Amino acid sequence: MPSYHPSVDVPAFKHAMGRLAGAVSVITVGTGQARTGFTATSVSSFSIDPPTILVSLNKASSSWAAVLDAGSFAVNILANGQSDVADRFAGRGGIKGNDRYVGWDWDRLGSGTLGLAGAVSVIDCDLDEAIERHSHAILLGRVRSVETSTDVSPLLYWHGSYQNLAGV
């Protein structure tokens, strides 16, 4: 039995979700030579009490084993102008692991994970739970610290390309 409804039009679903404008984040994972990370639009606030953030991660990503091993991750909400960072952490250009961090300034966070200088916000988290479902896992991150820049507009992704907020 297929894991989705047999009548569903998968390209139509992808097309529809491509119209869901979203902020772009880089999820940094790991310490030392074990560092890696991925670009994500599937980030949302999960709960306020306790402060918890949700990220969906494809288990085929190198970050899956790394986040289970590290037990922590950081959400870096990208600023307009940081699309090069998004491309690098999406694996474009074939750069892997720790080398993805080269070329930008990073701050060491309490968990040992790195936070991106100039990002809209950097949210350091302990991994609270990883819920596996189909190809992906829902990462629930218990927030341990938050930093937010002032007067920085976000990088957005819509209809297959990076965008910025009109009028900002």
> What residues line the site for ligand FMN (CB under 6 A)?
24, 36, 38-42, 56-58, 61-63, 89-91, 157
* SS3 readout for the chain: CCCCCCCCCHHHHHHHHHCCCEECEEEEECCHHHCEEEEECCEEEEECCCCEEEEEEECCCHHHHHHHHHCEEEEEECECCCHHHHHHHCCCCCCCHHHHHCCCCEEECCCCCEEECCCCEEEEEEEEEEEEECCEEEEEEEEEEEEECCCCCEEEEECCEEEECCCC
* Nearest distance from C-beta of residue 150 to ligand FMN, angstroms: 25
* Nearest distance from C-beta of residue 128 to ligand FMN, angstroms: 18
* Nearest distance from C-beta of residue 1 to ligand FMN, angstroms: 25
Task: Say how many Å lie between the first and final Cα of the chain, rounded.
Answer: 48
* Nearest distance from C-beta of residue 27 to ligand FMN, angstroms: 8
* Nearest distance from C-beta of residue 7 to ligand FMN, angstroms: 26
